[in-house]
Amino acid sequence: MAKSCAGAIPFDIQIIFGEPPLLPDEDLEAYEFLANRVHKAINPKSIFEHVLTRDYINLVWDVGRLRLVRNEILQNAQMAGIKSVLCTVRPAEHHLPIAADIAAHDAEKDAARFFVDPKAGQSALRRNSRLPNWA
């Protein structure tokens, strides 16, 4: 169990819980900080309260993890959607396969601009699609 919580959790209960359920790239210190704060706030006494407290800590941790995953999924979907629009609206004047690859690469670059500089991304969309200036 977390070193910072060792005093708050009796040894026999620490053995039951084992190691925190962290993924390899997750921050043990952040988990320990959360566990310490929750244990201080709840101050569990019985085994039942310790189990519920540990479950609560893990659920809070899981919610944070899922929020990060959701954000990654949304960002990837946005990027794919913008790239798809840019690839679709580019003029179909290139008949060579290499030209399609270059157009796809340019669309990916322009899609990335939407997240860094929305005005530059919008101007790239207008430039590539020949949309009117008000779009």
Quick one: pLDDT band at residue 99, thresholds 50, 70, 90?
low
Return the C-alpha torsion angle 22, 27, 30, 34, nearest 10. Answer: -10
Kindly report, residue by residue over 39-64, the tens digit of the pLDDT: 999 999 999 999 999 999 999 999 99
Predicted pLDDT of residue 96: 52
> Taking residues 6-12, what's their average pLDDT?
69
Which DSSP category does 26 fall into?
S
Output the pTM of the full model: 0.60
Burial 78-106 (b: 16+ CB within 10 A, else e): eeeebbebbbeebeeeeeeeeeeeebeeb
> Taking residues 92-112, what's their average pLDDT?
63
pLDDT at 82 over 60: yes
Contacts 24+ apart (CB under 8 A), 8-11: 8/36, 8/39, 8/40, 9/39, 9/50, 10/50
